[in-house]
Amino acid sequence: MSTQEIELAKARAALERGKLRAAVRYGWTAGLAAVQAGDEEHLEAVVQLAAVLRERSSGRLRQEAERLSAYCAGSLSDVRAGTIRRSGLGGLFRLDRFSKS
Supply the pLDDT for residue 83: 85
Task: Please give the residue that has the higher pLDDT: either 25 or 100.
Answer: 25
Convert the pLDDT of each residue in 79-97 to its tens digit: 999 887 555 555 455 444 4
Contact between 8 and 46 under an 8 Å Cβ cutoff? The reply is yes
Confidence check: pLDDT of 44 > 50: yes
Residue-level length of the chain? 101
Convert the pLDDT of each residue in 45-71 to its tens digit: 999 999 999 999 999 999 999 999 999
Q: Is the pTM of this model over 0.85?
A: no
